[in-house]
């Protein structure tokens, strides 16, 4: 987590611009709407992304992040970890990144939440957990006590992390997977859907199965 404090998503924070306009952006947009946050439009390289067809204005390509409007805050509405990393490497300091927390999410008052984090409906972030900048804690995911989630990780829907799990940056924890307490997962890893991770996973490795094993 960097030295900046996260800016919460609330109606008083000014207009918000979504970066991305596809499926993940749609669920982030709905969270913002439930929080009463005004969304001015979106940035996407596609000329007619999904959210444009649903009525939100496209303001231009993602490169416009390089010259933000002084009044705008931003939310990264891209689900793909690799694409998110490219955007962050180019524009992470381009503007104010807010952290929309869905009204039905449960976040411990002792948890630390970084900038640009999205926490989805029904997700739980428990005691003394740390969620670093730009991570996604998706629908129904559970992050137990003392976990540390690295920058730009994506915890997919319904995955469960036991206590004191550590996850390196740019890692995807797949749908419905389970990680046993105390396990350490490295940077740039992929944990397959439904996997049960019982041992540490080194940087860059893809594992799947029960128990999880490296894929060739």
| C-alpha span between 18 and 207 (Å, rounded) | 32
Average pLDDT over residues 156-168: 98
Q: Is the pLDDT of residue 40 over 60?
A: yes
Confidence bin at 91 (pLDDT 50/70/90): confident
- Contact assessment for residue 199 and residue 181, using Cβ atoms and an 8 Å cutoff: no
What are the tokens at 54? 């649903």
Residue 9, pLDDT score: 54
Of 31-45, 127-141, 154-168, give the lowest mean pLDDT range.
31-45
Reduced 3-state DSSP string for the chain: CCCCCCEECCHHHCCEEEECCCHHHHHHHHHHHHCCCCEEEEECCCCCCHHHHCCCCEEECHHHHHCCCCCCEEEECCCCHHHHHHHHHHHCCCCEEEECECCCCEECCCCEECCCCEECCCCEECCCCEECCCCEECCCCEECCCCEECCCCEECCCCEECCCCEECCCCEECCCCEECCCCEECCCCEECCCCEECCCECCCCEEECCCCEECC
* pLDDT for position 96: 85
- Lowest mean pLDDT, pick from 16-20, 66-70, 126-130, 200-204: 66-70
Sketch the domain layout of the chain as residue ranges.
Answer: 7-99
Domain 7-99 part of CATH 3.40.640.10: no
Q: What is the pLDDT of residue 2?
A: 43
pLDDT of residue 68: 66
Residues taking part in catalysis: 145
Which pLDDT belongs to residue 11? 47
Question: Residues 187, 203: contact at Cβ < 8 Å?
Answer: yes
43 to 7, 52, 124, 126, 153: CA distances (angstroms) = 20, 10, 29, 33, 21
Residues 6+ apart with CB under 8 A from 16: 9, 32, 37, 38, 39, 40, 72, 73, 74, 75, 98
- How many Å apart are CA 141 and CA 151, to the nearest integer? 17
How confident is the model at residue 8, as a pLDDT? 55
183 in Cβ contact with 199 (< 8 Å): yes
Q: Tokens 């913002």, residue?
A: 32
What is the sign of the dihedral through the CA atoms of 191, 136, 109 and 124? Answer: negative
Mean pLDDT of the chain: 91
Q: What's the CA angle centered on 141, arms 137 and 145, to 5 degrees?
A: 90
């Amino acid at each position: 987590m960097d030295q900046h404090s996260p800016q919460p998503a609330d109606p008083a924070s000014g207009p918000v611009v979504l970066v991305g306009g596809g499926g993940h952006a749609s669920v982030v947009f709905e969270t913002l709407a439930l929080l009463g946050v005004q969304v001015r439009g979106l940035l996407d390289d596609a000329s007619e992304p999904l959210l444009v067809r649903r009525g939100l204005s496209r303001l231009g390509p993602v490169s416009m992040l390089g010259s933000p409007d002084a009044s705008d805050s931003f939310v990264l509405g891209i689900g793909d970890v690799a694409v998110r990393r490219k955007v962050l490497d180019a524009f992470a300091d381009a503007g104010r990144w807010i952290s929309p927390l869905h009204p039905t999410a449960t976040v411990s008052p002792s948890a630390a939440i970084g900038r640009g984090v999205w926490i989805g409906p029904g997700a739980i972030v428990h005691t003394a957990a740390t969620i670093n900048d730009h991570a996604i804690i998706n629908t129904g995911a559970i992050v137990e006590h003392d976990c540390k989630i690295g920058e730009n990780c994506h915890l997919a829907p319904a995955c469960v992390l036991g206590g004191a799990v550590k996850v390196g940056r740019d890692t995807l924890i797949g749908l419905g997977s389970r990680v046993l307490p105390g396990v350490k997962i490295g940077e740039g890893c992929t944990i397959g859907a439904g996997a049960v991770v019982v041992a540490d996973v080194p940087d860059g490795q893809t594992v799947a199965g029960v128990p999880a094993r490296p894929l060739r």
